[in-house]
Amino acid sequence: MAGIQISGLLANQSFDWKSIVDQLIAAESRPIETLTAQKTRNTDQSTAIATLRTAFTGLQDSVQAMRADNIFSLRTVTSNLAGTTWKTSSANGTPVGSYALNVTRLATAAAQRGLVDVGAALNPSANVSGLTLANVNTASAITAGKFTVNGAQITVATTDSLADVFAAIGTATGGDVAASYDPVTDRVSLASLGNNPIILGSSVDSSNFLRAMKLANNGTATVASSGSLGTVKLFTASIANSGLKTGVTGTGSFSINGVSLNYDASTDRVGDVISRINASAAGVKAEYDATNDRFSLTNSTTGDVGVGLADPSGFLAALGLTAGAGATFARGQNASFTVNGGPALSSASNALSADVLGITGLSVTVNSETAQTLTVQSDATTMSTYVQDFVTKFNTAQDLIAESTKVTVSGTAVSGSVLANNREVQAWSSRLRALAFNAVGGLSGSIKRLDDLGIDFNGTTSRLVIKNPDKLATALTEKPQDVTAFFLTANTGFVAKLFTGLTSLMGEDGIQRNNLSKANLGIDEQITKLRAKVAAQREQLTTAFIKMLEAQSAAESQNKTLTNAFFNKSNNN
């Protein structure tokens, strides 16, 4: 307490006792300041070590990803044919090499092709005066507008009957062209009475009447529809009223490839049944060709397999899909190909699997009959990405260690980073360097250390660098088995050793942070006790000075009383 001066207590001077108390308490509080500073240093060290742990975790995750993603078995497939539309894929570990694939035949699907003209005729008789264009059941609906015959335009409306149109053709051509309908053949005919070639259509026609009637120029005086005109109504009427040549009534069922399907001719439409077939597990696609008035069933898969039909109700026969109704079966084909000039191989599918090709992990979907050479290589690009990530994460960890433990000298001034005096942390850099530098033992391949991959330390620093990218690319491309053995050999490979070493380091940093945390708890206890002691001292000092001032005040009061008494007595005498 040297330097604290107390004077003037009895000299009627103003006494700043509070300042004295503050000085005394400040002196007693210096140990608390020292402890608080130490706690701050401990906290900063713990934070720095936690940051290092984050870097170690990132490095550990980086090497673990090599193992988890099995990257050194990744493969790419390329074709020697530019712009190929074949689709290729390879599994991890597909043997590296070139494979000459020659596809001589693509696989096709088998199909049950129904009889043509299964729809009923447009009209039961040649008299078509009651058949309006709006109700003509042709492959495409007839549109209103104009069409041309021998240069004469005929205007039609959908409310016109077919007989009205025939009459309009005769009138427009001056009676030279006569039109008629044959219910037996279900066709329309145009005949020139003057035996002149009939010329149909013009560039300004707006009605599709001629196309709907399947009428086209042939250079003669007689033109007839190229096929039957009547078609099946898929969605505009029930099955019973759909215009099938062979009528279907009541309810029934049929099966395709063993899958049973039901129908009700009075409520279902033909289109409904077609949709039901396609949505079922029958494995076929049902379609209707309105141009040829024909139904078909095509297998959903390719290959030389059949289509099994059972038709107890006669519904499929009415659609012309059974052999008895005139349908024909077109067998599917199996794909035929060779690999590396070997014997011809066969596949029911154009998706050639590894089992079919005889090449582990390789599959090719072909869509053209061509010869292509497919080259399977290691996916060096992806591998390099993982290796570069490891190098980056390794350097991040080393840089953090160097930054947190460095000592800076500027003239005569020396300053250190937060962990400059932590020898254990300083040693972590050397341990990481050893983990990365040491060779992996027990390997028979040509790659036993990072240097064999073109990776080395950058000068005398602890940072890694890919010094020879070509060397790395060559190793990844041409020696994938050796690279895999170096990195991923269980327990002894590079990844396993580095992972284990990092786990040990993170265990040590956990101990250090735990010790620092315990030290801060002890400091908190000391600070609490010291603060209580200082508070008690402040209270004692304050009480003492107050009593001192009170005593001084009493003494001064007595002094005044005595002085006054002696002064008055002297005056009286």
What three-state secondary structure class fits 161?
strand
Structure tokens at 288: 């209707």
pLDDT tens for 450-502 read: 999 999 998 888 899 999 999 999 999 889 889 999 999 999 999 999 999 99
| DSSP category for residue 196 | P
Out of 247-251, 441-445, 534-538, give the one with best mean pLDDT: 247-251
pLDDT at 471: 95
Q: How confident is the model at residue 510 (pLDDT cuts 50, 70, 90)?
A: low
DSSP string, 347-364: ESSSEE-HHHHT-TTEEE
Provide CB contacts within 8 A for 252, sequence distance 6+: 262, 263, 265, 312, 313, 314, 315
* Least confident span in 172-186, 445-459, 506-520, 533-547: 506-520
pLDDT tens for 260-298 read: 999 999 999 999 999 999 999 999 999 999 989 999 999
Q: Which of 79, 300, 274 is CA-nearest to residue 263?
A: 274
pLDDT at 10: 42
pLDDT at 390: 95
What three-state secondary structure class fits 558?
helix
Query: C-alpha angle 47/48/54, rounded to 5°?
Result: 90
Please tell me the distance from the alpha carbon of residue 336 to that of residue 303, in angstroms, as a whole number.
Answer: 11
pLDDT at 163: 97
pLDDT at 541: 76
Average predicted confidence (pLDDT) for the chain: 89
Q: Which residues pair with 180 in a beta bridge?
A: 189
What three-state secondary structure class fits 510?
helix
pLDDT tens for 182-211 read: 999 999 999 999 999 999 999 999 999 999
Question: Rounded to 5 degrees, what are φ and ψ at 66?
Answer: -60, -40
pLDDT at 528: 80
Q: What is the mean pLDDT of residues 326-354?
A: 96
Q: Which of 439, 432, 486, 438 is CA-nearest to residue 461?
A: 432
H or E, element range at 133? none
The larger pLDDT score, comparing residue 279 to residue 421, is at 279
Q: E-assigned strands of 22-90?
A: 75-79, 87-90
pLDDT tens for 204-245 read: 999 999 999 999 999 999 999 999 999 999 998 999 999 999
Q: What is the mean pLDDT of residues 412-423?
A: 80
Question: Rounded to 5 degrees, what are φ and ψ at 295?
Answer: -100, 155
pLDDT at 1: 42
Please tell me the distance from the alpha carbon of residue 266 to that of residue 376, in angstroms, as a whole number.
Answer: 60
- Percent of the chain with pLDDT strictly greater than 90: 67
Provide CB contacts within 8 A for 246, sequence distance 6+: 118, 314, 317, 318, 325
Q: How confident is the model at residue 573 (pLDDT cuts 50, 70, 90)?
A: low
Q: What is the pTM of this model?
A: 0.65
- Percent of the chain with pLDDT strictly greater than 70: 94
Q: How confident is the model at residue 3 (pLDDT cuts 50, 70, 90)?
A: very low
pLDDT at 51: 87
* Least confident span in 267-276, 341-350, 356-365, 526-535: 526-535
Per-residue pLDDT at 9 exceeds 50: no
DSSP string, 76-98: EEEESSTT---EEEE-TTPPPEE
What is the side-by-side order of every strand in the sheet holding 362-365? 87-90, 362-365, 351-352
Count of CB atoms within 10 A of residue 90's CB? 24
Per-residue pLDDT at 2 exceeds 70: no
Question: Rounded to 5 degrees, what are φ and ψ at 179?
Answer: -110, 145
Pairing of the two strands 145-149 and 335-339: unpaired
pLDDT at 568: 67
Domain boundaries, the chain: 37-72+381-513, 75-107+334-378, 140-224
Provide CB contacts within 8 A for 303, sequence distance 6+: 107, 109, 110, 332, 333, 334, 347, 348, 349
Q: What is the mean pLDDT of residues 522-527?
A: 75
pLDDT tens for 125-175 read: 999 999 999 999 998 899 999 999 999 999 999 999 999 999 999 999 999
pLDDT at 405: 87
Q: How many helices (H) and strands (E) does the chain have?
A: 11, 24
DSSP string, 437-489: HSPPTT--SS--SGGGGTEEE-TTSS-EEES-HHHHHHHHHH-HHHHHHHHH-
